[in-house]
Amino acid sequence: MNTLIEGAGPFIWPLGLCSLLAMFIVIERLLALRFSRVLPEALLTAVAGGEWGNLPAALRRSPGGRVVDFAEKNRPDPESLKAYAQIELTRLERGLFLLDTIVGIAPLLGLLGTVYGLFILFPSEGLPDTASLTRGVGLALTTTMLGLFIAIPSLVASNYLARRLEIISAKMNLLVERLAALVDGAVEKRE
């Protein structure tokens, strides 16, 4: 491991930062995008049964609960309700653009390290000595490898989180459709 860190030279710092940032974002989003936290089953059941007016406070703190709360307090038209739900979905995407950036930048940092390793490989005069050759090739290979080691798992995690968001979005759309019908029925009863 020491050889790997030493072999990456100064590129270990940006690559290490990318690695730590990717790990933090993935763990945080995995915890934040749990179905039980975003759209609890009790919330979906209550709205499906038409009992959306007396939800516990714990359910109202979830993104789905905030949509229900918005519908209950404002009695919006369906388009406004969809727009509000879209705002909640956008909040759930927080940080994912950074993960996508890391997927793109980590291999480029590795490639930059490769180019730099090849650049220092050749002295201004003559052929490189054994130490320069070893250091240059080591830097070139190590940075490329680290860049790919960071980008590949980040890409897998990004795709997984994007798929999870698609499922949440589909469930949120069903919630919005049911709420729109409930709001429409409540408005008709008052008239």
- HEC string for 35-89: HHHHCCHHHHHHHHCCCCCCCCHHHHCCHHHHHHHHHHHHCCCHHHHHHHHHHHH
Q: Reply yes or no on whether the pLDDT at 22 is more than 50.
A: yes
Interval 45-79: pLDDT, tens: 888 888 877 888 888 889 999 999 999 888 999 99
Angle, helix 63-74 to helix 78-92, in steps of 10 degrees:
160
Q: What mean pLDDT is reported for the chain? A: 88
Q: Reply yes or no on whether the pLDDT at 151 is more than 90.
A: yes
Place 115 in a pLDDT band, splitting at 50, 70 and 90.
Answer: confident
Give residue 133's pLDDT: 77
Which of 64-73, 155-164, 177-186 has the weakest average pLDDT?
Answer: 177-186
Give residue 185's pLDDT: 72
- Higher pLDDT, residue 81 or 183: 81
> Amino acid letter at 62?
S
Give residue 157's pLDDT: 97
Q: Reply yes or no on whether the pLDDT at 191 is more than 50.
A: no
Percent of the chain residues past pLDDT 70, beyond the cut: 91
Interval 71-107: pLDDT, tens: 988 899 999 999 999 999 999 999 999 999 999 999 9
Give residue 186's pLDDT: 57
Q: Reply yes or no on whether the pLDDT at 7 is more than 70.
A: no
- Higher pLDDT, residue 140 or 64: 64
